[in-house]
Structure 1
Amino acid sequence: MTAPLIEIRDVTKSYDTDRPALAELTLEVREGEAVAVLGRSGSGKSTLLNLIAGLDRPTQGTVTVAGERVDRLTEAGAARYRRERIGMVFQFFNLLDDLTVLDNVLLPAQLAGLAARTARSRAAELLEQLGVARHQRAFPGRLSGGERQRVAVARALMNRPPLLLADEPTGALDSASAADVRRLLTELNAAGQTVLLVTHDTALARSCASRIVELADGKVLRDAAVAA
Structure 2
Amino acid sequence: MSEAVIELHEVTRQYDEGPPALRKLTLTVNRGDSVAILGPSGSGKSTLLNLIAGLDRPTSGTVTVAGAEVHTLGEAAAARYRRSHIGMVFQFFNLLDDLTVLDNVLLPAQLAGVRGGEARSRAARLLTTLGIDRHSGAYPGRLSGGERQRVAVARALINQPALLLADEPTGALDTASGIEVQNLLKELHAGGQTILMVTHDMALAEACATRTIHLVDGQVSADTLTDSRS
TM-score bin, normalised by smaller chain: over 0.9
Match for residue 86 of structure 2?
86
Matches within 5 A, 1:109-124: 109-124=109-124
- Amino acid corresponding to residue 35 of structure 1 in structure 2: V
Q: SS in structure 2 opposite 1:35?
A: strand
Q: Take 2:206 and 2:199, find their aligned partners in 1: how far apart are those partners?
A: 11
2:2–2:31 contact (8 Å) kept in structure 1: no
Match for residue 23 of structure 1?
23
Change in CA separation of 1:97 and 1:150 when aligned onto 2, cut-off 3 Å = same
Match for residue 190 of structure 1?
190
Give 1:17 deviation, angstroms.
Answer: 3.5
Greater mean alpha carbon deviation, residues 204-213 or residues 43-52: 204-213
Following TM superposition, where does structure 1 have runs of at least 4 consecutive aligned residues deviating by more than 3 angstroms?
Answer: none
Q: SS in structure 2 opposite 1:110?
A: helix
State the TM-score, normalized to the length of structure 2: 0.97
> Aligned residues, how many?
228
Q: Take 1:20 and 1:130, find their aligned partners in 2: how far apart are those partners?
A: 40
Match for residue 203 of structure 2?
203
Match for residue 69 of structure 2?
69
Q: Take 2:176 and 2:186, find their aligned partners in 1: how far apart are those partners?
A: 16
- Amino acid corresponding to residue 58 of structure 1 in structure 2: P
2:109–2:119 contact (8 Å) kept in structure 1: yes
Give 1:18 deviation, angstroms.
Answer: 2.1
Q: SS in structure 2 opposite 1:122?
A: helix
Q: Take 2:26 and 2:81, find their aligned partners in 1: how far apart are those partners?
A: 21
Matches within 5 A, 1:113-192: 113-192=113-192
Gaps of 5+ in 1: none
Give 1:189 deviation, angstroms.
Answer: 0.4
- Amino acid corresponding to residue 147 of structure 1 in structure 2: E
Match for residue 213 of structure 1?
213
- Amino acid corresponding to residue 222 of structure 1 in structure 2: A
- Amino acid corresponding to residue 124 of structure 1 in structure 2: A
Cα deviation digits, residues 114-153 of structure 1 (max 9, x gap): 1111111110000000000000000000000000000000
Cα deviation digits, residues 201-224 of structure 1 (max 9, x gap): 222111110100000000000001
2:209–2:227 contact (8 Å) kept in structure 1: no
Q: Take 1:194 and 1:3, find their aligned partners in 2: how far apart are those partners?
A: 11
